[in-house]
Structure 1
Amino acid sequence: MFEDYKRELLEFYFLKKKSNQLSTAMENPERLKLRKECIRIYAIKNSKEDRDIIKDFFDPLGKYEDLFKSIDRFELDKFRPLVNFLTKGTVIRDEEPVKLLAWLIEFHSYQDWKVKKYGAGLNSYLGISEDENSSDTNENFDVEEGKGEIAEADEDCHYDELEKLIQHPEPTEDNDNGNVTTSQDETQEEDVEETQSFEEKRNSYRKFAVYSIAGFLIFSIAIILQQSGWFESDTLPTEKCMYWDGDKYVSVECEKSNTQTGIIPLQKSLYKNFKKIGWSDTLSKNAVGKVWYAKRNGEYEFFTDSGKHPVDSKKKLKPLSNYIISNHLSYHRFVLQIVGWGISLVIILLIVFFLIKKLLRKKHVKHRLAQ
């Protein structure tokens, strides 16, 4: 009996495919497409019968409270028998995938099929009066007396009736103009809306990724330019004095005082060119002759110009040498730090990306359920 159901279901599938009444995912079924199609349809149809079908196939052990999660975490390889059944006609033994397929393409459930075909009769199932097609029914089916079983039908049995059923579905409701809107038309409209929604979300993800990468590049370039002094103005300040703030000289009114380093008269060369190098590991052999250093409190400090130490005037700055670079600095360490920061930033962006994607998906599902 179930073999007859599978055969008619497959006929129904190919008839809908022939008349271009299947969704894109069902026309060319693949494992990932089937899972997405199940999520899409379950967001539209979620009656108790629908939930039972989903639960029997995706969560027979009842591990998930949220059936959407059971679909989303379902192993793709378990769709392979159903894909092969549709594309290659291979045998599929389990009932659950067959019932799921019937649900996906809006075919009769197995229970309804049995009642309509074997309970109310084949003509009732096909929507044909007994007087109108009694001869055709007798030609295609032989009933064994006393057993109540119907012999196996020919391969092309009621093919025409199924095609009529697909091409002329029953009307569901009238619109304001009196025109009839079919359930198939509604399904096609939902497919179009779903495709448009998917494209919009995919474009938003792409924009987010592009903007994030662009923002990271702009931020990195700004840091490099700031460190190189590109943003600094050549105009001298109006103040006539300056003091050392730990990284550079800052202009100040001569009447004010600074208890840390003291105030000195503003010197153009020191004010414009003398700065402390924060990232000393960025220095390479190319910096020899361009950078000066001094050892203070057991640590090396590097500056962009010669002269005396801005805090300890007794210390005279020495020119950078290859020995200092080789033994006290590490350009490779700086590169590794940059790479590490870059990887960390990418990971953070990916996490944010997937969180936003998950949030949008939940909102989309809730919106579909509300409809």
Structure 2
Amino acid sequence: MFEFEIFREEVLTDYTKKRNEGTLPTSLENPSPANLRNYALYLYCKGLNKEDRIVFEEYFNSNVKVDDLEKAIKTTELGKLKSVQNFLNGTTRNPDEIIAKLLAVLIDFKPRPFVEWRKSFQQHQQVEFKTSDRIEYAQKDNNIVQSQPFKPTVIAKPKKKNGLNKILVISAASLSFATLCYMTVSQLKTDGCMYWDGTKYIEIDCKEEIRHAEKLVLNPIDLVHFRKITQTDTLQEKHVNKVWYSKINNEVEFFTSAGRHPINKERTLKPATWYMIKKYRTSYPTK
């Protein structure tokens, strides 16, 4: 289930973030099966809302024929909670759905339950699609009249930076600029097109023939700041959730911005967790 995969990654990312910030309870900082069971019992005694209780009942009472949820938690074999521990330490990447839902309750992930998260996710997707539609409409509408002459904003040049940091800084500044003025840009280039050259988008005249790539309607935002990260050895923990990735046929690629894969457009890029960065970047220098 595509949406649940994203939910699962976001829950794990939230756990990692809270652990790094030191905001997790001690039992979850060291998530042994015993600690997980004890913390689940603590949350039950503290009081669960209706949705969280349903998750607890599904996980702890699935193989125990008792009506008392508290007793079910207390008598749960520690070996069963090993699956939750494996998910947290990265041993298991595709656990059962109920494990991700249980972890969401344990770490107070929001929004939850999954149905509420899905509503929020779908609303966000609709906003992205509507924005994209407005950009394409503006680019194709030849009757747009420019009210004022376009005056490019002068931006002070940032200090020189090397590698990925330079790309991310330029991308962030460019994204802000492009978002504010994409309507003006589209008015100037109503027939603009672009194509993906393997690492970035290249602007071309729509009349130009492109045989080695798909010709796309010009998107000023992607043209300016969407890049494939080729020097993955520069990725560090500080880039968690600041770069995005795709995994297709066991091949992982990292990009500087969110969106869809430039070739496999049915695939949406995901925010990179520290686990994914460590596992799939090339060797990082230990100087």
Q: TM-score range by the shorter chain?
A: 0.3 to 0.5
The normalised TM-score by structure 1 is 0.35
Higher helix share: 1
The normalised TM-score by structure 2 is 0.45
Q: Greater relative contact order: 1 or 2 (C-alpha under 8 angstroms, separation 6 or more)?
A: 2
* Structure with the greater alpha carbon radius of gyration: 1
